[in-house]
Chains A and B, each alone.
Chain A
Amino acid sequence: MKSARNVAFGALAGSALLLLLLALALVLGSVVVAGIPALARGSTDGLAAATVGTALVTAIMTLLGVPFAVITAVYLAEYAPECSTTTRWVRAAVRALAGVPSIVFGLFGLGFFVLFVGRGMDRILYPGLGAVFGRPCVLWSGATLAVLTLPVVIVTTEEALRRVPRELREAALALGATKLETTFVVVLPAARVGVLTGVVLAIGRGAGEVAPILFTGAANFVPDLPTDVRAMFMHLGFHLYALSTQAADVSRSRPAAQATALLLLLVTLALNGTAIALRHRASRE
């Protein structure tokens, strides 16, 4: 009876794994097989700009989001009184943020970053000059993606901070370090692998997202490489979406779409790979 059940479960688990591998092979295989010849022909305009644009928006996302997330995690792990109402609300907000659909982040980015922050900056910095910051651009797309990826960085960093042993904090405090010095000179470096894990996960989520950048900066076609964070930009994911839904003749644009899909896969892999390599190096030190 028991062994029959074991066999049944084994078969079930095995076929689930097989199905998963099959799906993976199909998706990756079709993208790679179709993408390589299309890419080799190199006839598609805007791919270079879209590749650089994807890397750029991901970099901006990381630079803006990670420090903010780390500070929040430090507050939650080191400073927030455990059972205060504020702490409970901050935690609830982080959890809620993680569950918000990404298209809502896109609308939020348009309303908050482009219209509120951007226009506000224009009014103060460039009165009467028209829209400089107050329009969709790669900066606001990066900022929107940063908000989208905040929860994952906050949660992983906070867990990593809590795992730093108390003895280490006491060592620093007993040597006359202030709490701030202990936190930033001893505890945070000791938790750096956890922080970088959060960054890996954030890049994994953020690099391929299209919805948050739809209204905040992605452009249909800007063939020049991006040089200004205040300009709109091309993004591989958005480019793929545009090619496959908006072209006049979808069958003509198919090779371009296949090349774009392959590039998107490669860029996401490369970004993830860099983050994972960094994390690996930090964990060996």
Chain B
Amino acid sequence: MTTTRHQAKIETRSLTVSFDEKRVLTPIDVSIAAHGVTALIGPSGCGKSTFLRALNRMHDTVERAEVSGEVLLDGEDIYHRDVDPVAVRRRVGMVFQRPNPLPGSIFDNVAFGLRVAGHTAPQAIPERVERALRRAALWSEVKDRLRAPASALSGGQQQRLCIARAIAIEPDVLLMDEPCSALDPIATEHVEALITELKARYTVVLVTHSLAQARRVSDHTAFFYLGALVEFGPSERVLLAPDDERTRSYVRGAIG
């Protein structure tokens, strides 16, 4: 894992995804640098989630989905036939649009990934759980009720729990698919602050339907339109002075 050479954390080469033979992504070539937040924006249905889920081999679990092309993680293709998708998902974590706590306690949710990976000694798990909850800025709110069911938390807390759960297994990359779309403004603010914190350690790829959010938290922005990557670059430029006509109309609010 050498990121010292100036190598992209994630690089896609002619990446496409089809559902039932129907292509929903035009071949995508993009290179995402380590650390920092990359925002994916675009009208709904343009393929943001589909692209994101290709980065941790989530499409493998859907029978009708087919991925072609390459996704290089630290220079190695995660779709190579010797690569185990489970190992990929341990390095590339994911947070979903709607908080989806597992049945069971707050503690069990954060410990889940550690337990299934089986590398952590049982007596070391509480410490790892605490660290993950602290990093997710949730520790002070839940430290007295770790055994309470996760479903008893508020929506915003549940989403931070999902983030804690994802970072407990110490991935390199964190994929987030509209993590704030089901949250109220205050919870959204918490999660955004957290994303800004996390980018020091992780490479974050964030799908968002909010241009304001992209402006607040992202370093790079990719604009998707009808399954194609139209424009990619530093967020200020893409969001404020885009080159492409389609990007311009989208950020002006004309399409989407």
When A173-B89, A175-B166, A176-B117 are in contact, do A186 and B103 touch as well, CB less than 8 Å?
yes
Chain A residues with CB under 8 A of B87: 176
Chain B residues whose C-beta falls within 8 Å of the C-beta of A173 in the assembled complex: 58, 61, 89
Inter-chain CA distance A179–B84, complex, in Å, is 12
Minimal beta-carbon separation of A192 from chain B (angstroms): 10
- Count of B residues near A, CB < 8 Å? 24
Q: Does A178 contact B (CB under 8 A)?
A: yes
Name the CB-closest residue of B to A167: B100
A130 at the interface (CB under 8 A from B): no
- Shortest CB-to-CB span from B13 to chain A, Å, is 24
CA gap between A57 and B100 in the complex, in Å: 42
Chain A residues with CB under 8 A of B162 = 171
Cross-chain contact B58 with A170 (CB below 8 angstroms)? yes
Q: Is A124 an interface residue (CB 8 A)?
A: no
CA distance A189 to B108 in the complex (A): 14
A178 proximity list for chain B (CB < 8 A): 86, 116
Q: Is the CB of A171 within 8 A of B101?
A: yes
- Which residues between 49 and 75 of chain B lie within 8 Å of chain A, taking CB atoms? 56, 58, 61, 63
Residue A177 is within 8 A (CB to CB) of chain B in the complex: yes
**CA–CA, A230 and B203, complex, Å:** 64
> How many inter-chain residue pairs (CB < 8 Å) link A and B?
62
The verdict on A103 contacting chain B, using a C-beta distance below 8 Å, is: no
Complex Cα gap A170–B113 (Å): 13
Q: How many positions in chain A have a CB within 8 Å of any CB in the partner chain?
A: 21
Q: Which residues of A contact B169 (CB under 8 A)?
A: 175-176
List, in ascending order, chain A residues with CB within 8 A of B166's CB: 174-175
The smallest C-beta distance from B119 to any residue of chain A, in angstroms, reads: 10
Among the listed A167, A174, A186, which residue makes an inter-chain contact with B56, where contact means beta carbons less than 8 Å apart?
A174
> Inside 8 A of A172's CB, which chain B residues have their CB?
102, 112, 116
Please determine whether B113 and A175 come into contact, CB atoms closer than 8 angstroms: yes
Stretch at the interface among B27-35, B90-98, B133-141, B212-220: B90-98
CB-CB under 8 A from B94, the residues of chain A are 170, 174
Answer yes or no: A169 CB below 8 A from chain B CBs: yes
Of A165, A171, A175, A181, which is in contact with the most chain B CB atoms at under 10 Å from its CB?
A175
With an 8 A cutoff between CB atoms, is B48 at the interface?
no
B9 close to A (CB within 8 Å): no
State in angstroms the CA–CA spacing of A167 and B177 once bound together. 13
Residue interface mask A156-175, B partner, CB < 8 A = 1: 00000000010111111111
Q: Does A190 contact B (CB under 8 A)?
A: yes
Chain A hits for B56, CB < 8 A: 174
CB distance from A117 to the nearest CB of B (A): 37
Min CB–CB distance A83 → chain B (angstroms): 10
Q: Does B209 contact A (CB under 8 A)?
A: no
Assuming A174-B56, A175-B112, A178-B116, is B61 touching A168 (CB within 8 A)? no
Residues of A within 8 A of B63 (CB): 81-82
Is A175 a contact of B89 with CB atoms below 8 Å?
A: yes
1/0 contact trace for A38-66 toward B, CB 8 Å?
00000000000000000000000000000
A19 within 8 A of B: no
Contact B61 A175 (CB under 8 A): no
Name A192's closest neighbour in chain B (CB-CB).
Answer: B103
Q: Verify if A185 is at the interface (C-beta below 8 Å from B).
A: yes
Contact with A along B171-200 (1 / 0, CB 8 A): 000000000000000000000000000000
List chain B residues, Cβ under 8 A from A189.
Answer: 103
Q: Is the CB of B89 within 8 A of A176?
A: yes
Which residues of chain B come closer than 8 Å to A82, judged between CB atoms? 63
Tell me if A174 and B89 are in contact (CB < 8 A): yes
Chain A CB within 8 A of B165 CB:
yes
Task: Kindly list 16 other residue pairs between chains A and B, CB separation below 8 angstroms, not including A171-B96, A175-B93, A175-B113.
Answer: A165-B100, A167-B96, A167-B100, A168-B100, A169-B61, A170-B100, A173-B58, A173-B89, A174-B93, A175-B165, A175-B169, A178-B86, A178-B116, A179-B61, A185-B116, A190-B103
A-B contact pairs, 5 of them (CB 8 A): A167-B98, A172-B116, A173-B89, A175-B165, A176-B117
